Amino acid sequence: MILSVTALLTLGAAIVMLMMFLLWLLHLRMHNAGIVDIGWAFGLGVLALLYGTLGRAPVIPRATLALLASLWSLRLGIHLYHRVIGKPEEGRYQQLRSAWPTGTAWKFLLFFEAQALLDLILSLPFLLVCVDTTSPRSLSLTQIAAIILLVLSIAGESLADAQLARFKQSATHGQVCTTGLWNYSRHPNYFFEWLIWVAYALFASGAHLGWLSWSAPAMMLYFLLRVTGIPATEAQSLRSKGAAYAEYQRTTSAFVPWFKKSLS
């Protein structure tokens, strides 16, 4: 079955909104809003597979992007699952509960559904590739370069996640992770996550209206640097680690991995 662009978007919206609604119901039982992160990651993979299966573009480019995006989504979703399920609710979500003393459950419903909307917007590169009927049947050099960047970025993000997880196994309260990539960036996982979206946009840049795909890494960069990424994570780290994290902030790059700053 081949669907129009409008029908694909409508079906995709219905699926991710229903998924987030069900997760919201589950979070009421678990009292852990962190499962929204798992839904966000898996939702993008579901949209990639949906577009790749029902899109009208030649098979090779749409199948390649759908496969790569779904594998990335699966890795990230599983990582977040192990980080969230069976653990106390993360501090940033506890802060939201404190900031929303009334109507908390309904405000979290809006928050969950906002993540569904974000999935739809960020999946634009997937959609543009999968509906482009004028696309060549084989991969272009730009798309091959995008695949290389994507694989390297996923490897970098996976390494950063593994190093942090290993550190947490033996860390004492108040300790700051400065192991491996975390010695050169306070958020190497976010940096590589952003590069993944650059790779998706690069892959889609040759499609019809492909320039619109660059809105995804631009939006991701804004959220990471200004909204739910670094600001929320660092505020929680300062609350839990205090002076040790403040010193880490003074000496270590916030985003792009770089050499340490020396303190006089």
d(CA 197, CA 216): 7
pTM of the model: 0.93
User: What pLDDT, on a 0 to 100 scale, did the predictor assign at position 232?
Assistant: 87
Host H or E run for residue 188? helix 188-204
Nearest Cα residue to 84 out of 137, 44, 40: 40
**Counting Cβ atoms within 10 Å, is residue 261 exposed (0-12), middle (13-18) or buried (19+)?**
exposed
Contacts of 155 (CB under 8 A, 6+ apart): none
Q: Which residue has the tokens 């501090």?
A: 91
The answer to whether the beta carbons of residues 108 and 33 sit under 8 Å apart is yes
- Alpha-carbon distance of 28 to 11, in angstroms, equals 26
Condensed to tens digits (0 to 9), the pLDDT of residues 103-153 reads: 999 999 999 999 999 999 999 999 999 999 999 999 999 999 999 999 999
pLDDT tens track for 182-231: 999 999 999 999 999 999 999 999 999 999 999 999 999 999 999 888 99
What is the biggest distance separating any 2 CA atoms in the chain, rounded to whole angstroms? 66
> In whole angstroms, what is the distance from residue 18 CA to residue 11 CA?
11
Contacts of 26 (CB under 8 A, 6+ apart): 35
Q: 32: helix, coil or strand? A: coil
